[in-house]
């Protein structure tokens, strides 16, 4: 029988931002035994919280969800299974969760337990009952900032999260995912790779060799390279950038996703910068350069490529229709391309899933 979480309003906790803004609310998930601090970011998606919470790109962050009611469909089974289709990794990477209203009852045919049960098992504290609309307005106007979940405002302390989060979410050693009868193998540089990226490759009949973020993929016999998504500032991934430089020099077919897009840009000689409050949602419109075609995409990033610093042999591929920021680049001659959004989706629309087919076609 699934245990039903019944929120208690006898104990209150607070979310304190480093600018002094304070929001009082009530706890759910793991008990808050000590103050919890991290970078406070927001996601505007309406669904998909099991996939989002297990996305390694959220490593060390306190996530606020703008959709007012969270937890109403619980969480599905299969959390511990490798490459499960219900989650993007086998752990919750959030430092804390902020919602307006937590649903104490869940109803869905696939639910195995409540969201609060998952957070409690992962040691992640949540707060509900706050004005998330007001919170997001502050973050949009002042920019992303550190925050703290605490029982006493006087105990608040502020940290922007781990210094090198990529090293915390990457695999420790190479892992191979063979496909019977496949003659093609992709080297996947894992900077915090989502399960669905790997499953998207396997579904297209190619074997995958997944390696750590600081592994020299050019030392292996692979037909192409994919640089994955991941958390944090791309400039902290110097070893990955150096690997990307070697990959570019060899001219191997290459695909970058999210953080991988930024790493390839840095390896090419361009620059990156931090966005004011990032793109985290499943409804970001991206326009294909030179056309009127616009795709709705899933996104989760706080940094972007400065397209005006791209070398001459590189070209802009996609542009965000909301704010004009870069959403993809590609080489004008070599089989190298990358996007800032998530073509694998999960959660979100699969409009750009065809980009995996384009990448696979480059290997043949």
Separation CA 98–CA 74 (nearest Å): 16
Residue 96, phi-psi category: left (phi > 0), alpha (psi -120 to 50), beta (remainder):
beta
User: From CA 165, how far away is CA 161, in angstroms rounded?
Assistant: 8
Annotated catalytic residues are 258, 342, 344
Residues 119 and 123: their CA atoms lie apart, in Å, by 6
Kindly report the number of other CB atoms within 10 A of residue 121's CB atom: 13
Tokens 């070893």 belong to: 239
For the chain, where are the alpha helices, taking DSSP H only? 49-53, 115-122, 132-142, 165-169, 195-202, 238-250, 259-268, 354-363
The greatest distance separating any two alpha carbons of the chain, rounded to the nearest whole angstrom, comes to 64
Say which residues have a Cβ less than 8 Å from residue 320's Cβ, sequence separation at least 6: 279, 284, 285, 286, 287, 326, 327, 340
Of 311, 235, 299, nearest to 273 (Cα)? 235
Containing H/E element for 102?
Answer: strand 101-102
């Amino acid at each position: 029988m699934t245990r039903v979480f019944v929120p208690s309003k006898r104990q209150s906790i607070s979310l304190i931002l480093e600018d002094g803004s304070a929001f009082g609310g009530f706890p759910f998930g793991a008990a808050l035994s000590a103050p919890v601090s991290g970078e406070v970011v927001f996601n505007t998606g309406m669904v998909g919280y099991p996939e989002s919470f297990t996305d390694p790109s959220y490593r060390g962050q306190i996530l606020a969800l703008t959709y007012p009611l969270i937890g109403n469909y619980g969480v599905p089974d299969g959390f511990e299974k490798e490459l499960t289709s219900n989650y993007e990794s086998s752990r919750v990477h959030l430092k804390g969760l902020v919602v307006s209203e937590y649903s104490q009852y869940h109803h869905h045919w696939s639910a195995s337990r409540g969201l609060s049960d998952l957070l409690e098992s992962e040691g992640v504290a949540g707060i509900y009952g706050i004005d998330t609309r007001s919170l997001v307005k502050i973050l949009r106007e002042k920019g992303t900032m550190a925050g703290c979940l605490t029982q006493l405002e006087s105990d608040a302390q502020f940290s922007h999260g781990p210094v090198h989060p990529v090293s915390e979410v990457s695999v420790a050693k190479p892992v191979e995912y063979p496909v019977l009868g496949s003659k093609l193998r992709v080297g996947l540089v894992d900077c915090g790779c989502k399960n669905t990226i790997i499953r998207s490759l396997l579904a297209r009949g190619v074997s995958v060799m997944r390696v750590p973020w600081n592994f020299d993929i050019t030392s292996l016999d692979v037909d192409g390279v994919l640089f994955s998504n991941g958390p944090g500032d791309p400039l902290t991934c110097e070893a990955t950038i150096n690997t990307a430089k070697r990959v570019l020099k060899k001219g191997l077919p290459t695909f970058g996703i999210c953080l991988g897009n930024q790493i390839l840009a840095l390896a090419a000689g361009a620059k990156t910068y931090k966005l004011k409050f990032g793109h985290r949602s499943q409804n970001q419109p991206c326009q294909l350069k030179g056309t009127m075609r616009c795709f709705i995409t899933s996104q989760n990033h706080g940094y972007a490529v400065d397209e005006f610093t791209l070398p001459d042999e590189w070209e802009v591929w996609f542009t965000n229709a909301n704010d004009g920021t870069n959403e993809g680049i590609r080489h004008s001659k070599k089989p190298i391309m990358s996007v800032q959004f998530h073509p694998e989706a999960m959660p979100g629309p699969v409009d750009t899933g065809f980009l995996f087919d384009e990448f696979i076609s480059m290997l043949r």
